[in-house]
Amino acid sequence: MARNKESLVLLIEVGPSMHGVLPEVEKVCCLLAEKKLIYGKYDEVGVVAFGTTDTKNDLTVEVGGYENVTVLRDIKVVDGALVDVLHQLPRGSARGDFLDAVVVGMDMMIKKYKETNKGKKRLCLITNAVTPTRLPYEGTKEDQVKTVAAQMMAHGMKMDCVVVRAQKDWDVDKKIVEENDFLLGLLSNKSSSKVYVGNATSLLGALRTRNITPVTTYRGDFELSYIMKIKVWVYKKTCEEKFPTLKKYSDKAPPTDKFASHEIKVDYEYRSIEDPKRVVPPEQRIKGYRYGPQVVPISSAEWEAVKFKPEKGLKLLGFTDASNIMRHYYMKDVNLFIAEPGNTKAILAISALARAMKEMNKVAIVRCVWRQGQTNVVIGVLTPNVSAKDSVPDSFYFNVLPFAEDVREFQFPSFSNLPSSMQPNEQQQDAADKLVQMLDLAPADGEEVLPPDLTPNPALELRSKDPSANIPQIDETLKRITEPDPELLHQNTAVIEEFCRSFELKENPKLKKSSRRIREKPTGSSEDGEGVAAAGQAMDAAEYPSQVKVEQDSNTVQEFEAMMSRRDSPDWVRKAFQSMKDKIYNLVEDSVEGDTYQKILECLVALRKGCICKQEPEQFNDFLRHLNKFCHERHLDSLSDFLASNNVMLISKSEEPESNVPETEARVLLLKEP
């Protein structure tokens, strides 16, 4: 845990020019803090606001200057108070100087950690960079920035600059903006990353929650052939971030024990099947693999002797045209191949290959065995990643490719062979073209919307909001990820409308409703019968209001019998019972002066027969008692009388041994109770 611990100082500009976006910034920073509470609860965070009316920082006391910079929170382990601080950022009235803020932030870090925590210290600057920085006492601004950057390097600090440029037409001085951008560029080129964000969603994505100390997957030679080798390191480039696993809770510890961990330990014990008394140690367990219908046991010792043991190493198989590797064959998360840091010759070699590959549009095929003792090999493709930034060396992305066994050769019909009714006509194709063209998320003149690098995972955000709230609400910022942007839709209303007009969709009339309904039912079988059945009916009724009624009346009994006779799943019987009971209740409720009594009688007789047949007399008995009570409450005693006169009674012990009702009582109940 402590390995990935990081310390972060948030530097937030709160001057007048930022007031417009501050609500967003507050929200995003709160989310960041909340995420930290879950993902990095040992991380330490400090908060500095600049452009504030007041001044409160160590440097101003010690050396003077550094006005309008307020330390809102010293560097401390994350807690609830941090969220509160970020929730209500002060609105400042002064012009913010980001360079001052950076220096204050650095000073806090240096004082707190001295030389330790190298590489785990991060400054995060959130600004719009439209206000000018002060002229330093000596030298130029550029010199000052260079000194700051050098200091940062020396102390192993990193910095993320998030530049919020929401409103383009803000009343700003172009020259100042350019100067600031230049300074920030200088700073970032030397030491850190800089991102410009346009909207709240990408602001959320730009703020990295967790700073993971990367671990190499492989260090060693990349072998072009025995003649030439290049020293490389391999890292993971993408890796799915998951919600932390919940721990199992034990309530055994006494409530007075404040330090109880409440955790649960799991213990496994393995026993041999032939001799259940003998406990097998975990390393002596025997694996079995299927060979046809049989299972072939292979002990780990045997396996060890014969298994596939490739030598560790990366070997080049050759180069090929990029078009030979289709994008959808990438199998896994992505790795990054970089030359061994500090090894100039290796960096040059990688750079030469990457640039040549980029120029010729080629990719390299490599065979990888990351570790000694690994039992498989990986075949993958290297694609060049020519760096745009001067300080970053060129590298390769590595994607795993499938083996022959991994590709399933499913055949699908050619589109051109499909019937003409499924082929779009010219006008439809035109509408589709327009939609594809206009519903543009990466306009040539603007910024790409939802770039993966700046799009946060809404599920992680949601769940970290407040774990105690059961069904989290998606807020507007995250809706931009799960739903189309209303503004974009609005701009293209005409195109979308034309598209919708061009194509017609309708339900398949050939598909029978009943089959559809039946197909849906087994899926609901894991749920509690009643609720789902009711919901399903409500839906059906909404879809086919008129037909359903008729159908219900005529086939209830047949449908019930058909369901009872199905053998593919025991759930059918339960379903049948449930739906029958629901229908009887409906009939009772719908009855007007006894017009449905005959129908009810038929249904009850069928249900009774079914219950006896399936040896579930209590199902029926309970139901009948319940129905009786129900009738009584609604003053429908005439129904009870009607049923009694038609000899509908409880299932007695003599009829079905499972029943608890003696024969003598079977008839009595209906007549005498309530």
Partner 1 sequence: MDIDPEDVFGDEDDPENEFYQEDQKCVSHFEAAINSISVSLKTQIINRSYDEVAICFFNTKEKKNLQDLIGVYVFNVPEREDLDRPTARLIKEFDRLQESFSKQIGSKYGILPGTRDNSLYNALWAAQALLRKGSTKTADKRILLFTNEDDPFGDMKGVTKLDLMRTTIQRAKDAQDLGISIELLPLSKPDDDFNVSTFYADLLGLEGNDLAEFKALAAERFEDIKDQLRKRMFRKRKVRRINFIIPGGKSIELNTYAVVRPTNPGNITWLDSAERSFFCSDTGALLQDPPKYFQTYKSENIMFTANEVSDIKRVSTGHLRLLGFKPLSCLKDYHNLRPSTFVFPSDEEVVGSTCIFIALHRSMLRLKRFAVAFYGNSTHPQLVALIAQDEIMSPSGQIEPPGMHMIYLPYSDDIRPIEEFHTDTNLAPRASEDQIKSASSLLKRIDLKNFSVCQFANPALQKHYAVLQALALDEDEIPDVKDETLPDEEGLARPGVVKALEELKICVYGENFKQEDDDTMGSQKTSETSNKRKALKELTVSELKHYLNVHNQPVGGKKEALISRILTHMGK
Residue 137 near partner 1 by CB under 8 A: no
Q: Which stretch binds partner 1 (CB under 8 A): 19-27, 99-107, 323-331, 621-629?
A: 323-331
Contacting partner 1 (CB under 8 A), which of 80, 139, 185, 570? 80
What the block records as the tokens of 426 is 């010219």
Residue 287 near partner 1 by CB under 8 A: yes
Contacting partner 1 (CB under 8 A), which of 94, 183, 449, 631? 449
Write b or e for each residue in 315-328: b if 16 or more Cβ atoms lie within 10 A of its Cβ, otherwise e: bbeeeeebeebeee
With 0-12 CB in 10 A as exposed, 13-18 as middle and 19+ as buried, what is 359? exposed
Contacting partner 1 (CB under 8 A), which of 255, 410, 546, 645? 410
Q: Give the C-alpha separation, 232 to 338, whole Å.
A: 6
Residue 153 near partner 1 by CB under 8 A: yes
Residue 241 near partner 1 by CB under 8 A: yes
Contacts of 213 (CB under 8 A, 6+ apart): 3, 4, 119, 120
CB 537 within 8 A of CB 518: no
- 121 forms beta bridges with 7, 157
Cα separations (Å) of 356 from 362, 398, 542?
A: 8, 17, 64
C-alpha 579: how far from chain center: 37
Contacting partner 1 (CB under 8 A), which of 45, 162, 431, 636? 431
C-alpha 391: how far from chain center: 34
Select 137 or 226, whichever has its Cβ closest to partner 1. Answer: 226
Query: Of all helices (H) and strands (E), which one includes residue 186?
Result: helix 174-191
Q: How many residues sit in the footprint of partner 1 (CB under 8 A)?
A: 200
Write out the binding residues for partner 1, residues 157-196 only, by CB under 8 A.
190-193
The nearest distance, CB 655 to partner 1, in angstroms, is: 36
* Closest to 130 (Cα-Cα) out of 10, 16, 9: 16
Residue 327 near partner 1 by CB under 8 A: yes
Select 171 or 257, whichever has its Cβ closest to partner 1. Answer: 257
Write out the binding residues for partner 1, residues 335-394 only, by CB under 8 A.
336, 338, 341, 344-345, 347-349, 351-353, 355-357, 359-360, 362, 365, 367, 375-377, 379, 383, 385, 387, 389-394
Select 264 or 671, whichever has its Cβ closest to partner 1. Answer: 264
Write out the binding residues for partner 1, residues 213-232 only, by CB under 8 A.
214, 224-229
Contacting partner 1 (CB under 8 A), which of 64, 255, 297, 545? 297
Q: Give the C-alpha separation, 674 to 659, whole Å.
A: 22
Contacting partner 1 (CB under 8 A), which of 302, 553, 602, 663? 302
Helix (H, G, I), strand (E, B) or coil at 659: coil
Q: Give the C-alpha separation, 506 to 522, whole Å.
A: 25
Residue 63 near partner 1 by CB under 8 A: no
Residue 301 near partner 1 by CB under 8 A: no
Residue 518 near partner 1 by CB under 8 A: no
Select 498 or 582, whichever has its Cβ closest to partner 1. Answer: 498
What the block records as the tokens of 413 is 């019909």
CB 212 within 8 A of CB 235: no
The nearest distance, CB 53 to partner 1, in angstroms, is: 31
Residue 42 near partner 1 by CB under 8 A: no
Q: Give the C-alpha separation, 428 to 367, whole Å.
A: 47
Q: Which stretch binds partner 1 (CB under 8 A): 446-454, 595-603, 653-661, 662-670?
A: 446-454
Q: Give the C-alpha separation, 91 to 19, whole Å.
A: 7
Mark 473-512 with x for binding to partner 1 (rule: CB under 8 A) and - for no binding. --------xxxxx--xx------xx-xx--xxxxxx--x-
What the block records as the tokens of 118 is 């190298």
Contacting partner 1 (CB under 8 A), which of 68, 70, 399, 652? 399
